[in-house]
Chains A and B, each alone.
Chain A
Amino acid sequence: MNSSGVLKSSSSELDLDRPNIEDYLPSGAAIQQEPRGKLRLHDLLDISPTLSEAAGAIVDDSFTRCFKSNPPEPWNWNIYLFPLWCFGVLLRYLIVFPTRVLVLTIGWIIFLSSFIPVHFLLKGHDRLRRSIERSLVEMICSFFVASWTGVVRYHGPRPSRRPKQVFVANHTSMIDFIVLEQMTAFAVIMQKHPGWVGLLQSTILESVGCIWFNRSEAKDREIVARKLREHVQGADNNPLLIFPEGTCVNNHYTVMFKKGAFELGCTVCPVAIKYNKIFVDAFWNSRKQSFTKHLLQLMTSWAVVCDVWYLEPQSLKPGETPIEFAERVRDIISTRAGLKKVPWDGYLKYSRPSPKHRERK
């Protein structure tokens, strides 16, 4: 970044008879002592700044840090605490866990026995059916949250249903959606998952108006953008929830927001979610565990404690590009939830940076 940035200005003319030192010098090189007007072999060969950057990246880089799940310090290491911890484990797995599974099963039974009839019988009465389905989805989400003994504190005005508004939130795990859905039935845009989650997605979530995308398909973006636009125009649709990071991050950092959510010409209502790590690490490391395992881990922990802040709606300021708008909203969310910002695109988790990023450096 040092050498190329300065060389850029000299790309047109290169006067070799009188080399111009400003054109060639890497910024901050140890040249100040030398007489001006001469590019020396020493400067050309000194690649140490670039090498230092590379070594710094090898040793520790801000991107990997976003996805590291930090295990909590083991506190059960001495003779008094260890039996207590063993007791806790027994309690959690043998008593609390089955209770939770029971609660969840009851919840599902109630839900399915109400949802399926309503879905089919009330086919003609759309509005009624939709509002009942909405309450049912909110209910099953509450059951889910109860099954992890979720203690959620909501701050700020509850979302209301208005056209031309979009909600954006930081993303830590799939349960973000459930936590938010418990309060208000959102329509969410999510990656299509395989397995039982995918089944749930296509049946129940369809009723609240969710939109699917597939990360691996290139053309998908335009289709999704169109669907998003259609959704926000409809007054009757559930408010749309988008996770602009595009991937799960470990609740200490935020990665760059994708601008899609900010180009729709609506007001953007930021929502910040922060989990309390003392009770459980809610970060879903999708490369390390499947969602089922993640859920089981949550259900065998003591509790899921989190804070949800509904923040002030923002609109695109005159003269602001969507990217700047996205950055501004990311700033607001990060400050509220105490997360550090990182200048990387979340999708780099799945692919390499393209050569053009290297060229720019």
Chain B
Amino acid sequence: MGNTSSMLTQYDIEEVQQHCKHAFTQQEIASLYQRFCQLDRNNCGFIPSDEFLSIPEFAVNPLSQSLLRMLDGFNFKEFIAFLSAFSPRSTLQHKIEFIFKVYDTDCNGKVSFDDMLTVLRDLTGQYMSEHQRKEVLAQVLEEAGYTKDSFLVLSDFMKILGNSDLKMEAEVPVD
């Protein structure tokens, strides 16, 4: 799928569908492609982080910085793979993997105390002091059986979040 093509062929759609493990229907992929082209203003085949920030609803989201880190320089296939975690057809495991990636800022497969603190800081802003955040996090970790210095890996996340009904979906408008 070249950078310059502005029309998706059936072949392209199927290829992308395979790539995201059928998380989206073909219509949704076509719709998302339109959206991708809309965001990719300079037609360079990928979306620079700036473009995401020009969406006000995204820019005011507390986790936008963490997500931007993950989204940088995405081409369409990666864009779809990123959004596939939000499809109603994706598995719980896939969603938990996504959440894990958001926390794992240095992409080393382990989530440290600091990683969790960063996300908590993004979410709470000035409503909690740094000290309070550290205390709450340490307290909650201990109650769950971890310590301040332990690293959580994906399987820990699966255990912690696994038995809940995680609702993480975004609806793709199909016209």
A144 to chain B, nearest CB (A): 32
Q: Which residues of B contact A11 (CB under 8 A)?
A: 127-128
Q: B67: nearest residue on chain A (CB-CB)?
A: A54
Q: Which residues of B contact A14 (CB under 8 A)?
A: 128, 132, 135-136
Is B86 a contact of A47 with CB atoms below 8 Å?
no
The answer, yes or no, to whether B16 is at the interface (CB within 8 Å) is: no
Interface residues of A in 338-361 (CB under 8 A from B): 344, 348, 352-353, 357-361
Is A358 a contact of B164 with CB atoms below 8 Å?
no
CA–CA, A16 to B167, complex, Å? 29
CA–CA, A10 to B132, complex, Å? 11
Interface residues of A in 5-35 (CB under 8 A from B): 7-8, 10-11, 14, 16, 19, 24, 30
The answer, yes or no, to whether B54 is at the interface (CB within 8 Å) is: yes
Chain B, interface size category, equals 35 or more
CB contact between A45 and one of B35, B58, B128, B157 (< 8 Å): that residue:
B157
Is A3 a contact of B143 with CB atoms below 8 Å?
no
Q: Decide if the interface of chain B is mainly helix, strand, loop or mixed.
A: helix
Interface residues of A in 29-88 (CB under 8 A from B): 30, 38-42, 44-64, 68
CA–CA, A359 to B124, complex, Å? 8
CA–CA, A78 to B55, complex, Å? 39
Q: A42: nearest residue on chain B (CB-CB)?
A: B160
- What 0/1 readout, one digit per residue, does chain B (45-68) give for beta carbons within 8 Å of chain A? 000000011111111111110010
CA–CA, A53 to B170, complex, Å? 7
Residue ranges of A at the interface with B (Cβ–Cβ < 8 Å)? 3-4, 7-8, 10-11, 14, 16, 19, 24, 30, 38-42, 44-64, 68, 344, 348, 352-353, 357-361
Listed by A's residue number, 30 A-B pairs whose Cβ atoms lie within 8 Å are A4-B62, A7-B127, A10-B127, A16-B139, A19-B136, A19-B139, A30-B167, A38-B143, A44-B116, A44-B137, A45-B99, A47-B99, A47-B123, A50-B62, A51-B98, A54-B61, A55-B83, A57-B55, A57-B58, A58-B52, A58-B58, A61-B55, A61-B56, A61-B58, A64-B55, A352-B53, A353-B60, A357-B60, A359-B125, A360-B60
